[in-house]
Amino acid sequence: VAIALLTEAKLLRRFRVPGRSLSSLYAGYYVAELLNELTDQYDPHPELFELADQTLGGLCAGEPVGRRVLRFELIALRELGHLPSLDVCADCGAAVELKGRVAFGQLAGGVLCGRCRLGKKQVASVTAGAIRAMAGLADPASRSWQRMEIDDRAGGELRGVLNHYLYNLLG
């Protein structure tokens, strides 16, 4: 049994949300809670630490909360190997055409082709635009997500899909 002893700590930066923005504050709490639920103790993830630091910094800078949180969730899922399939069928691996509405299998782990969709439970019908937005937000190398406009309807759809996906992932 190894015992870790912390003898000194130094505050490097304080995260303070602008004004009295409860949504930014609650988003920061959510980031910490999600990290706690998705990772094991003493299992280092430097990329996730950097992502969390950037996310909290963005929230403190007054960036749009919804877009920033969606970005955090999707990159975290990618880093941990849980990102849903967004371009090929989660069941058979066939390419899924992203037009109109697309079947998203919450339990299957992503988009489904028409053949594999049959008989599946917990399948949501999602706009192709929402799936493309998820892919853009999940790309760690892209900066285009910062200019991405997500209207309330699309944001609600993205939020609903990710909420159910995370719920099923975390049990």
> Is the pTM higher than 0.85?
yes
14 vs 75 pLDDT, higher one: 75
**Alpha-carbon torsion angle 105, 108, 112, 114, nearest 10:** -90
pLDDT at 152: 87
Average pLDDT over the chain, rounded to an integer: 92
pLDDT at 171: 85
Lowest mean pLDDT among 107-116, 130-139, 140-149: 140-149
Whole-number Å distance between alpha carbons of 171 and 104 = 18
Phi, psi of 148 (to 5 degrees): -65, 125
Instruction: Name the band, by pLDDT with cuts 50, 70 and 90, for residue 46.
Output: very high
Instruction: Name the band, by pLDDT with cuts 50, 70 and 90, for residue 20.
Output: confident
Which whole number is the average pLDDT over 22-39?
Answer: 95
Determine what percent of the chain is predicted with pLDDT higher than 90: 75
Strands laid side by side in the 101-105 sheet: 110-112, 101-105, 123-127
Determine what percent of the chain is predicted with pLDDT higher than 70: 99
Residue 19 predicted with pLDDT over 90: no
pLDDT at 137: 95
Give the largest Cα separation in the chain, rounded.
59
pLDDT at 151: 85
pLDDT at 130: 94
